[in-house]
């Protein structure tokens, strides 16, 4: 489907994915021990919402712009504070011109002892990533294939942290690569937190992914999905999902609060929906 980050910056899928990412980072910062984030398909890190890519798609108008304009219930607003505070820090008051990708969000949460590994091979995005995050000794940007990096950089020396896998899904086999990549990485680092993003146009590929993951024998796999439209038009991105391995213990409860609110707010013509279930462990 070619989910290049620059064209979809600030979309409903980004809002969902990045809100969850910041909840995980909040948890990691709750303990003094150092952690590492490994972002396998990092993109450019920061995005100009008036730039040619984001402006052409305009998806941010139906994602982050809609969220910022909404009057949120206090419980929802509290869960989104770690995410929205980073966005606010990058923009002038009352304006929205810059959107942070996962590298910029992760950087905002790094403490002196923490580290961030960013992997990107697309030349334009890799060059922008290096420019956007240069000068921070806690961060290393690498021009390496993300699928290779998924297993190559685990386990980290810190033994705590998160692996974020957010590929562009340019090839038909990427759902299979997602499951195989997780299996290989988990064999090397079974205690790490993994967050794997995937697009939803119809049910066939996400459901096949779920079945593949259930066969891996991994102890804890939480699936969270947000849909914004009915799955009857496979030419459009109708939703997105996150596979969360070893999720922080509060995250399930937080998602029970957050997902219905995001579905109601970001759904097209009232067609928003969500799924939250355990593929392995906890409440199968």
Instruction: Please tell me which residue in 114, 166, 232, 277 is annotated as part of the active site.
Output: 166
Neighbouring CB atoms inside 10 A of 214's CB total 14
Extract long-range pairs of 222-225: CB within 8 Å, 24+ residues apart. Answer: 222/247, 222/251, 222/252, 222/255, 222/276, 222/277, 222/278, 222/279, 222/282, 223/275, 223/276, 223/277, 223/278, 223/279, 224/20, 224/255, 224/259, 224/274, 224/275, 224/276, 225/200, 225/274, 225/275, 225/276
Q: Are strands 161-165 and 193-200 parallel, antiparallel or unpaired?
A: parallel
Mark whether 166 is an active-site residue.
yes
Active site residues: 166
């Amino acid at each position: 489907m070619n989910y290049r980050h620059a064209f979809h910056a600030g979309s409903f899928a980004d809002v969902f994915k990045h809100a969850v990412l910041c909840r995980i980072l909040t948890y990691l910062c709750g303990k003094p021990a150092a952690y590492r984030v490994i972002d396998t398909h990092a993109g450019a890190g920061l995005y100009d919402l008036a730039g040619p890519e984001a402006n052409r798609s305009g998806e941010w108008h139906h994602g982050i712009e809609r969220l910022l304009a909404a009057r949120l219930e206090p419980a929802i607003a509290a869960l989104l504070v770690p995410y929205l505070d980073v966005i606010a820090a990058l923009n002038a008051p009352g304006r929205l011109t810059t959107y942070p990708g996962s590298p910029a969000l992760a950087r905002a949460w790094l403490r002196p002892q923490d580290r961030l590994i960013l992997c990107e091979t697309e030349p334009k995005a890799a060059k922008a990533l290096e420019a956007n995050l240069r000068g921070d000794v806690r961060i290393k940007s690498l021009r390496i294939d993300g699928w290779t990096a998924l297993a190559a950089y685990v386990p980290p020396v810190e033994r705590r942290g998160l692996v974020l896998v957010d590929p562009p899904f340019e090839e038909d086999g990427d759902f299979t690569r997602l499951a195989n990549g997780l299996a290989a990485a988990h064999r090397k680092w079974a205690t790490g937190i993994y967050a794997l993003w995937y697009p939803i146009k119809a049910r066939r590929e996400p459901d096949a992914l779920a079945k593949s993951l259930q066969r891996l024998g991994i102890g804890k796999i939480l699936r969270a999905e947000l849909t914004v439209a009915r799955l009857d038009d496979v030419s459009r991105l109708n939703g997105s999902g996150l596979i969360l391995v070893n999720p922080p213990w509060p995250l399930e409860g937080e998602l029970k609060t957050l997902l219905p609110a995001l579905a109601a707010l970001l759904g097209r013509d009232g067609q928003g929906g969500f799924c939250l279930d355990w593929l392995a462990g906890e409440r199968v």
